[in-house]
Structure formats: C-alpha cells, structure tokens
C-alpha cells in the first residue's frame, strides 16, 4: 500500500538543501490556512537537555516570527489524556523528546496514537527516536495530513535550528 511505501521514505536523501521537505514536492502550493495554535513539547520526561534546548530555541524563534500566534511551550511531564486534549486544540504540535516502542515518552506515561480516533492537528513534527510502524499506522488511521518523524534511533540531539527555521518559515508562509 502507499502507506507502507511512505513509512520508510527518507526525505533527507532527496535534497542537499535545508529546504528538502518543502522543495521535494515541486508542486507545493501556497495555501492560506490560518493556524489557531502551536504547541511545542520539549522533553516532557525531563532527562534530555538538548531536546529541551531545541524546543526553547524554536519557541523564541516562532515568538519573534509571528508574535500574534497562540504559542504554548511545555516542558513538564504529561499524561496521554493531556496530549489528546492538545491534539484537539492545536494546529501544529512540535515534539522533541524520546519516542519508545511503547509510545511518546511523556515522563509519567507513554502516548500511543492508535489508542484514540480523536482529531489530530494539521502538522505533527516528532524529533525523537525512530517512530515505530505501529505508531505511524495509528496516526495514519486518525487521518493525519502532515507528519514529520525519524526512522533512526537517535541520542539526545538539538536539530539544526536553521533547518527548523526554514521548515517553519515555509509552513507559516503557507506552503504545504
């Protein structure tokens, strides 16, 4: 199925530039879809210093880029129910933290996308370890339109801030 083919497609191999995801689809169109809320979840397990730093730096960048956006920065342990509420109210969720076979590590428990069929945001960006096929399928079954994730296990890392800036500049300028 197309779902299976896309799961392990590696966008970073398609382009040398930091615009790789945006430039990959040359037919990308500018769409004016207002974002009601962005939530940045940084290291809810409270043991990944670089994930926390990434979330904080991204928050400062977005605040300067779009002062009027409803932006929330979270860096404390959460429950799966709290994440579900956030999924319902946000247009974008950027998660930097640990992803385990059990789910997204929230510090107090794990979040498994397949345990719910509630609404998901327009975009979920997951900077964590490899997203398992089960969790990927959970998001697909819920109708996710845009999901950025890794296929590789990683150590605590701060993503290249310039790449994140270019990515979100494209998103906030309307490119989908």
**Using alpha carbons only, what angle is made at residue 71 by residues 176 and 144, rounded to the nearest 5 degrees?**
40
For residue 107, what are the CA distances in angstroms to 40, 44, 110, 133? 15, 5, 8, 22
The secondary element (H helix, E strand) that includes residue 20 is: helix 20-24
Mean pLDDT of the chain, nearest integer: 80
Tens of pLDDT, residues 63-77 = 998 888 899 999 999
Report pLDDT for 21: 43
pTM: 0.80
Tens of pLDDT, residues 12-46 = 444 344 443 444 444 445 555 567 899 999 999 99
- Of 151, 137, 105, 142, nearest to 122 by C-alpha is 142
Report pLDDT for 164: 85
Strand 123-127 with 110-111, pairing:
unpaired
Tokens of 3: 């779902």
Higher pLDDT, 175 or 73: 73
């Amino acid at each position: 199925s197309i779902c299976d083919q896309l799961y392990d497609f590696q966008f970073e191999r398609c382009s040398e530039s930091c615009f790789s995801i945006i430039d990959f689809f040359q037919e990308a169109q500018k769409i004016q879809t207002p974002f009601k809320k962005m939530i940045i979840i940084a290291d809810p397990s409270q043991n990944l210093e670089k994930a926390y730093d990434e979330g904080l730096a991204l928050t400062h960048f977005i605040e300067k880029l779009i002062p009027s956006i409803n932006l929330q920065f979270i860096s404390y342990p959460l429950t799966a129910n709290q994440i579900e509420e956030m999924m319902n109210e946000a247009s974008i969720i950027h998660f930097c933290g640990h992803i385990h076979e059990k789910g997204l590590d929230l510090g107090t428990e794990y979040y498994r996308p397949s345990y719910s069929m509630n609404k998901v945001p327009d975009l979920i960006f997951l900077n964590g370890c490899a997203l398992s096929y089960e969790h990927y399928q959970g998001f697909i079954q819920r109708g996710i339109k845009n999901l950025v994730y890794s296929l590789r296990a990683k150590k605590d890392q701060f993503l290249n801030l310039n790449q994140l800036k270019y990515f979100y500049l494209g998103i906030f300028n309307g490119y989908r």
